[in-house]
Structure 1
Amino acid sequence: MLITVSGPPGVGKSTTASELASVLDLEHISGGDIFRELADERGYTTLEFNKLAEEDDQIDRDLDQRLEQIAADRDDVVLESRLAGWLAGDHADFRVWLDAPLEVRAARIADREDKTVQNAREETAAREGSEADRYREYYGIDITDLTIYDLSINTARWDAEAVVDLLTTAVEDYDPDADEGKYPVELDYEF
């Protein structure tokens, strides 16, 4: 089974993907780890490579191509990155989107990176805007379109263990053919 875990910074992607892989006896492959491998292959520190990536779109493309290749070639993997659900495409058996309000994510990032919440909020918002523009420009992807995901979870509502429990149950009960042909369902809401 190929499971993807995606979401913005600070939602707990790495923690969730690692724990889910462990529980389901799958390998965890992180986009962050692959980014660090690419930096090492080219003789840069992660910080240097990150700064270079801001000006060289080939770095993002190389990372994404590597993730796409893993999705095409591998099973029994939890693949984690911001675009994993999109990059895996039809190779994915189950796609998860994790999210939380910006204020919650900023507090988590501030805690782990030893910075102020205000600074983390501003940096995170800027980073998300920049990434959304790049994804649209490079691939025509609207990162806010969650229709490709099988499940979306607000990680501000549960602790990390509960999120993994929810996902484990969802993955174990998942039957991709159960409602074949019934979707998409169009709903008409007025606000």
Structure 2
Amino acid sequence: MLITISGPAGSGKSTVAAGLAESLGYEHVSGGDIFRDLADDRGLTPLELNKRAEEDDQIDRDLDRKQRDIAESRDDIVLESRLAGWMAGEHADFRIWLDAPLSVRAERIADREDKSVELAHNETKERGKSEALRYREYYNIDIEDRSIYDLALNTARLSPDGVRAVVESAVNAYAPDDDEGQTPVEGVTYEF
């Protein structure tokens, strides 16, 4: 089974994806780790790489192509990134969207990256705007469209263990034989 976990920076998707993958015995593939590694390799912060990606669309396209290739060719994985649900498309068995208010996400990021909450807030807000513009331009994806997701959850309302429990419960309750049809991913142009 291919499970995707999507959401903005600081929503808890990496934490939940890693825990879910471990409990299911699946591989965890993180788009965020790939992106941060790419930024580090270039001596940039993720925000700086995002800015470069506004000028060089191949940065996003390479990462997204990799996600799409993984979704097409592998099974028993939890694929996690902002666009995982969109990039996996029809190959995903279960798509999850995690979110939290910007103020909560900024606090989480500030703690994780050892920076001020104000800086994390400003960077996260700017990063989100930048990404939304690129996703629309490259693939015709409206990142605010949640209609393709099987489960959407505000992670600010529960503890990390509570979020994981809700997600695990939903995934464990999913029975492919009883599936009456997922929402199709339509209108996306997969041109890498």
TM-score range, shorter chain: 0.7 to 0.9
CA contact (8 A) 1:135 1:143 kept: yes
- Helix, strand or coil at the partner of 2:145: coil
User: How far apart are the structure 1 equivalents of 2:16 and 2:97?
Assistant: 11
Residue identity opposite 1:63 in structure 2:
L
Measure how far apart 1:181 and its partner are.
6.5
User: How far apart are the structure 1 equivalents of 2:53 and 2:98?
Assistant: 25
CA deviations on 1:78-101 (whole Å, 9 max, x unpaired) are: 000100000000100000000001
Are residues 1:113 and 2:113 paired?
yes
Measure how far apart 1:123 and its partner are.
1.2
Based on CA coordinates, which of the two structures has the bigger radius of gyration?
A: 1
- Helix, strand or coil at the partner of 1:167: helix
CA contact (8 A) 2:67 2:88 kept: yes
Count how many residue pairs are aligned between Structure 1 and Structure 2: 182
Measure how far apart 1:56 and its partner are.
1.2
User: 2:187: which partner in 1?
Assistant: none
User: How far apart are the structure 2 equivalents of 1:20 and 1:37?
Assistant: 23
Measure how far apart 1:142 and its partner are.
0.3
Residue identity opposite 2:42 in structure 1:
Y
Change (3 A) 1:115 1:170: same
User: 1:22: which partner in 2?
Assistant: 22
- Helix, strand or coil at the partner of 1:180: coil
TM-score by length of 1: 0.86
TM-score by length of 2: 0.86
Measure how far apart 1:36 and its partner are.
5.1
Are residues 1:76 and 2:64 paired?
no
CA contact (8 A) 1:4 1:80 kept: yes
User: 2:65: which partner in 1?
Assistant: 65
CA deviations on 1:97-129 (whole Å, 9 max, x unpaired) are: 000011110111111122222221111111111
Are residues 1:97 and 2:97 paired?
yes
Q: Percent identity?
A: 63
CA contact (8 A) 2:5 2:96 kept: yes
Change (3 A) 1:137 1:156: same
Are residues 1:87 and 2:87 paired?
yes
CA deviations on 1:34-82 (whole Å, 9 max, x unpaired) are: 3356568xx6345498264343110100000010000000000000010
CA deviations on 1:146-188 (whole Å, 9 max, x unpaired) are: 000000011001111111111111111113554627989xxxx
1:1-191 counterparts in 2 under 5 A? 1-35=1-35, 44-45=42-43, 47=45, 50=49, 52-176=52-176, 178=178, 180=180
User: How far apart are the structure 1 equivalents of 2:32 and 2:182?
Assistant: 36
Structure 1, unpaired ranges of 5+: 185-191
More displaced 10-residue stretch of structure 1: 18-27 or 43-52: 43-52
Alpha-carbon RMSD: 2.3
Change (3 A) 1:173 1:56: same
Change (3 A) 1:111 1:34: closer
CA contact (8 A) 1:38 1:63 kept: no
